[in-house]
Structure 1
Amino acid sequence: MKKLRILALVLLAIPTFALSGRAEVVDRIVAFVNDEVITLVELDTAFETYRQKIEESYKGPDKDRVMAQTRRSLLDRMIDTLLIEQEARKSGITVTDEEVMASIRGMLARRKMSQEAFQQALALEGKTLETYKREAKETMMRTRLVRREVRAKVMVTDEEIGEYYRLHRDSYEGSEAVRLKQILLVFPKDMNDAVREKLQALATDIGKRLKGGESFDSLAAQFSQGPAASSGGDLGFVEKGTMLPEVEKAAFSLSTKEISDVIESPVGFHILQVTDRRGEGNKPIETVREEIKSRIEDEKIDKKLDSWLTELRAKSHIEIKL
């Protein structure tokens, strides 16, 4: 994507004439980023998933405005990503395809999930494995660059940790909570008795497979329609008083690692597994010091990254042609 690519794309952007005499634009440049470009095809391809989600879920009267704003925000993110990639290359930071695949294999091993199940989970989110690999590579490159350019310059003092704990003390007076994994089969809007029986039979079969030793993560990725399905159905810690009554009653009656029977709620059929518990009471600062330090560090990094990107944009040649 050097100067020759820019020249080629400029030539592509010149109208080509079909036999009918009408002009058709094959592709065009939507942004110059130093000596590289982002094309309309690249933007439209990246935007397709967002477009589908807006079409499916947004019911407001100004859908076109939301589409345009989301598309422009995506272009800004693509520009930032390209700037970071350029800066990483200048600094000799690279991420190979094998490193990306090793990272994915490690993630799948931790979740006890097959690549096929993972690809099925991605498909439910409107992604392909190639899309995920590209995003993972960008994330790894960004992380390495940020670690060198930003994280190393961030310091968190004991005074800051103490002050954060004092100001957010309520956050560390935890209610009783369980860490849950969930497989959820959602009732469709047009459900009838036949559909309900089919879903219940599927839920019962999944429950038998789980209790027979199959991986919860894998079956969640394959069947769950609930949140975090692609992450093995892990909902994190959920406190009392925040769940559907039927689900909460079952969740807090389970012992750690135990798998529930099929639970019916107004939403659908649930299968739960409790992976951890925590009780009520105030957590002393010693037990949450690293958590607070990490949180303050992340906040500082976000601020420094924003200012670093602003500086990087200011010294770069960026021209938007959208």
Structure 2
Amino acid sequence: MIARHHWKRGAAPLAALALLVAAHGCGRDDGRESLISRIPADAPVVVIEGEHVIPGAWLRNMAVTQEILVRQSMPGMPLSVDEYSLIENTRKLLTKINLLALEARRRGLTVTPQEISDRLSQEVARFESTEQWRRQLEASGLTVEERRREIEIELLFDKYREEIVRPRVLEQYANDDKAREFYEKNPTLWDEPLRVHLFHILRSVARDAPESERERERRRIEQARERILAGEPFEDVARSESTENSNLRGGEIGWIAENTRELLPEVRDVVFRLEPGKVSDVVESPMGFHLFLVKERRERRHRPFEEVKDDIKERIAAEAIKIELEKEIAALQQQMDIRYLRLEPYIGEKPERAAGGQAPAGLGGAGASEQPAAE
């Protein structure tokens, strides 16, 4: 499965992430060469309108990034990525970005050399040195000028989305009336539960600990409570007495909502009945003995429309922009001549194709066709 399309603001320059991990796509855990790395950097992989060429380096970089995003979305999961599908789906995504960039240029949007240099400077700043960036760029198969051209495409895509699509979406779909309608149709979204700013001291005791140990730890936490009641700051006592890692923060747990599942049943009722500034009695649980302090309490409330209006508009706009972009891409696919150069000479036949199966579906639409790889 390919990571979802990146139509959100600032999401187009995926190649920048690929540069940071340029070595990633060169091999596999079992030592095999990846299919991605077999695509020549200078080989054309897509040609639009007979003259706009998407080179293999762009496809390689974005495919590496997409694979990383997939793995990051499911950390700890043993994934077997279908590289053939990864490459083909990435090529479709890359083509969509380029189609919108070309349409932006046709409509008169431009990118200045300074804008490209500014984006490039932001990218270089992610590296330890300019030299390291240049080495990674070279390893990815790009020259500085080719990377500048790639950035121009990214910025044209951004401008098309922000200067052409977003204003239209905000006017048609994300105005005050639409936001009010969404607010009234989803009343429970704006309910905030009771929340408390919680601090905690724990004296850990194993469940099978002898009674003498339990009594020793109970006395110790009772003495800690007496120190707090006598005026010693809760945070200082937590640092010296608590066996939980929150002791480094003076026992601070943070803001906890009443509907949380983070708290043990034994302590939930105690915590949410505490008045601000009051220290709880000693609470026993399977973990040991606890003290709690509530510094601040925020009661249940229903957030008014004016408070959430802008958030609602942004939520509506984000989804509407995605839909509008896909509509415009579909129209461009029908209008423009899109040629996909065959990748099989570099990556081989997909196993099911070699056995007579179907090739991955193209972008569809008039003009989209697959051509032999360039010699």
TM-score (norm. length: structure 1): 0.47
Radius of gyration: which is bigger?
Answer: 2
